[in-house]
Amino acid sequence: MTRLSDTIAEIQPASKTGREQARQRLDSLAMPHWALGQLMDLAESLAAMAGSIEPDFKQRINIVMAGDHGVAAAGVSQYPQSVTRAMVETMLSGGAAINAIANSVDSRVIVVDMGVIGQRSWSGRSGFLDYRIAEGTANIAQGPAMTREHAQASVEAGIQVAQSLQADIFGLGEMGIANTTPATAVGCALMRITAKGVTGRGTGICVDAIAAKEAVIDRALKINEPDWEDGLDVLHKVGGFEIGGMAGFLIGAAALRKPVVIDGLISTAAALIAQSLCPMVTDWMLASHRSIEPLHVQMLEHLGLPPYLDLQMRLGEGTGAALMFPLVDSAMAILKNMATLDEVVQ
């Protein structure tokens, strides 16, 4: 037995009783049936995860998993690989977008080094965890991203991160230059499609460069032949260390019965890997928003997760996940604090 298999064995479905109680309560409120739409869907899902109609989701953490990618050498990003390291430093200093948004919604930010290139210089910094597997992946356009052993190690590291932190709800994001390329490759592999027409601009590459990026992804899929029925094989061949770490985090949190809000394309690729390894894990996920990356909506449909926001975002870092927390507060306020129709008309 491994940490991964042991953790998967602990995952249970969300509570049917909690969902049914929430549905009864929401149906009784003083408004037309389901008039608050997806906000009521969210309340129902949160009650199912908590097993209660009075859950508390005040203790929040935004996890940002960071790693570098060998495929950056193929020119698929507008930014140099060194930006990954610079942005990790910016996050630890409190100056990134995720810090600003997380601070505004009363959430902590924890940055996890899963595979950043360069010297280990952040040990002891507040809000930092070191689970580095290696200094970046290999170029997926030339061969596997990592060994299968490293793929499993990255997932199990993510499980350890989930087990080490205390919160009521988590937001999940990432940092890694060029990581929309392996994320798209992962999505294409698991959904058995080609990259043509679903590859986006990532960091903002020009429209003409998208065709070249599509070719890199399709070459990676052809050379590596990932097995769409085996999430670890897909991760090993076309993934990334931070993608594996996020997949493991989702599995670890599900075993602990903790909700995780996923962000955009890259964290959703991790969710697909987690789903491949344990389909029940999606019971513990919430999709924060619909990214403008073309593949993202198809990935969410594959997971069966509706997005709650559409803000034309494509930054990553977990920014969309953090923006979901006020909706969580509002959904819980409706469930707990609204008057019922009977109370109004008595």
The answer to whether residues 155 and 242 touch, using CB atoms and an 8 Å cutoff, is no
Best CA proximity match to 256, nearest among 279, 281, 277: 281
**Nearest-angstrom CA–CA distance, 330 and 327:** 5
Q: Which of 89, 156, 317, 343 is an active site residue? A: 317
Active site residue 242: no
**Nearest-angstrom CA–CA distance, 84 and 232:** 24
Angle separating helix axes 180-191 and 241-255, nearest 10 degrees: 60
The answer to whether residues 106 and 60 touch, using CB atoms and an 8 Å cutoff, is yes
The answer to whether residues 148 and 232 touch, using CB atoms and an 8 Å cutoff, is yes
- The region, left, alpha or beta by phi > 0 then psi within -120 to 50, assigned to residue 202 is left
Contacts of 14 (CB under 8 A, 6+ apart): 45, 48, 49, 51, 283, 284
The answer to whether residues 307 and 284 touch, using CB atoms and an 8 Å cutoff, is no
Contacts of 292 (CB under 8 A, 6+ apart): 200, 312, 313, 314
Active-site residues, by number, are 317
